[in-house]
Structure 1
């Protein structure tokens, strides 16, 4: 544990009810935090002397929101619905855009699509060549949805058993990120971290490859969740992957080498980490957490900064 990098808790929700699910970094360095607290999106300035959250938006028809991803510097796509344990009410999942209008102006929320044929839209990624089109992970049925936030068109880009859940954990494909020609993914239930080549439109363009497995016996308290990918100067691209209950793994995308980067053991620095975002300068990561000491307990979500 002594060889691990230092960490700094930037913020914690002390009221005991806020589960942070996902995180995105704006071009100005401000963080966006999606939560299961009444479907709210918050912002936080990590450079402030005492960072505090500000409410950005609430979402009609959603009491919990999941993924958040940039389509442009001032427009983000958010997914959400009626939250239930490990899933959402069938027919409730919606896709929204949040448009920032400038200093002092409220963000504009627009419902751009409904996805009735799913109980989960989870991890999310925007297509690099068509950033208004996003891919979203169906953790319950092992599918990758493709959603055009301009037209509202929704279809299944692809599905595969490798993305499905099993009995160990009720969530399969969880976090997703596009890096180079691949869609990278974490499967919570199967303990896989892997990738699949995709075309410019997000369609499957080759075979799945499993790069790493979560160490130990898979359970809700030992499972991958979400991640981000850093490209260090002169080094190999590396994924930083959250794992319950208190770990971050680093996975070299070239060699496949996996290391315990942070946490583990009796560490309480991260309490059920859920997602990661690389800092604007690429020299660290922000980690957000569910913040509950036991599954189903009070949620006191954290935002933690760790150098890499």
Structure 2
């Protein structure tokens, strides 16, 4: 029986759909031990674009054949962080220097780049747009205005959001709020993943995670990325939250608690967090870093999760593995 996505979304909002935990999962692709997959985006053809931390690489993964290929190696940086599609097969991303061994970023090393996959004969063009010398750790990235080329990027160290034009390099801090700041003690990592609501126009919502303070929140923004109202904390004490995906109907966010190796579904209405998969002692998604929905008819109900292989927090203090992508079929959840 065919059920429209609108009806599914309505049932989720009304609470009439019963969630089924531990959805079917499969490993799509895996790298060698010592690798860290940091972020993920999806092309219109369904192929996954994956950024790596610890090495300045971007990979393409075909989730239908489980094949992967290196498509770009950057110079002058040691890793790639947030990425989002800016135009058809054109991606904006952040890069800089980060040492995995001691979890230390190099302030002043971060920049915004573009990757264009539209070239003839599958030519790939990678360009640095601008250095952002005032940044300490550029992390999450989301497209603000695809026509103008504006993106928003989070600085996890300084606790702010910067608007950058991925074509001209014009950059400006547009939101700085105490809710974005790192904790007073511990790793100086505050605002992490960011995503804009799919709605265009002057009234949009920027959702964000604060990694060090373990909460998920939102703030309304104008067309230029500036805040038009106060920050709202939606969910508290979920864990060390990394990057996330918004549900197509806007009812939930699918979020990763990196330190706990867990995937959660968080209600945007109530803030209730439901554990979907993983556990502190599980190798299913060790060190989950980012998550995204598929874009084709084959995988529109599939969540793709990238992992760090547990490098920052080995399972039971000893077990690490290579970075990987795990696909979860969350249809009906």
Instruction: Calculate the TM-score normalised by the size of structure 1.
Output: 0.90
The residue that corresponds to 2:325 in the other structure is: 303
The residue that corresponds to 2:165 in the other structure is: 148
Shift of 1:105: 2.5
Aligned-partner Cα distance in 2 for 1:115–1:10? 34
Count of residues in Structure 1 that have an aligned counterpart in Structure 2 = 295
The residue that corresponds to 2:195 in the other structure is: 177
The residue that corresponds to 2:61 in the other structure is: 44
The residue that corresponds to 2:251 in the other structure is: 237
Contact in 2 for aligned 1:23/1:33 (Cα 8 Å)? yes
Contact in 2 for aligned 1:86/1:170 (Cα 8 Å)? no
Once the two structures are superposed, the pairs formed by residues 105-254 of structure 1 within 5 Å of their partners are 105-128=122-145, 130=147, 132-166=149-183, 167-179=185-197, 180=199, 181-215=204-238, 222-232=239-249, 237-244=251-258, 245-254=260-269
Aligned to 2:281, what secondary structure does the other structure show? coil
Aligned-partner Cα distance in 2 for 1:75–1:129? 10
| CA pair 129-169 structure 1, distance change in 2 beyond 3 A | same
Instruction: Calculate the TM-score normalised by the size of structure 2.
Output: 0.84
Shift of 1:17: 2.2
Question: Aligned-residue CA RMSD in angstroms?
Answer: 1.9
Aligned-partner Cα distance in 2 for 1:240–1:68? 17
| CA pair 103-300 structure 1, distance change in 2 beyond 3 A | farther
Aligned to 1:249, what secondary structure does the other structure show? strand
| CA pair 108-129 structure 1, distance change in 2 beyond 3 A | closer
| CA pair 294-204 structure 1, distance change in 2 beyond 3 A | closer
Aligned to 2:313, what secondary structure does the other structure show? coil
Point out 4+ residue stretches in structure 1 off by more than 4 angstroms: 128-131, 296-299
Once the two structures are superposed, the pairs formed by residues 42-81 of structure 1 within 5 Å of their partners are 42-48=59-65, 51-81=66-96
Shift of 1:36: 1.5
| CA pair 103-55 structure 1, distance change in 2 beyond 3 A | farther
Contact in 2 for aligned 1:71/1:131 (Cα 8 Å)? no
Aligned to 1:92, what secondary structure does the other structure show? coil
Aligned to 1:29, what secondary structure does the other structure show? coil
Residue deviations 1:259-285 (CA, integer Å, cap 9, x gap): 111112532211110000011143121
The structure in which a higher percent of residues are helix is 2
Structure 1 residue runs of 5 or longer lacking an equivalent are: 216-221
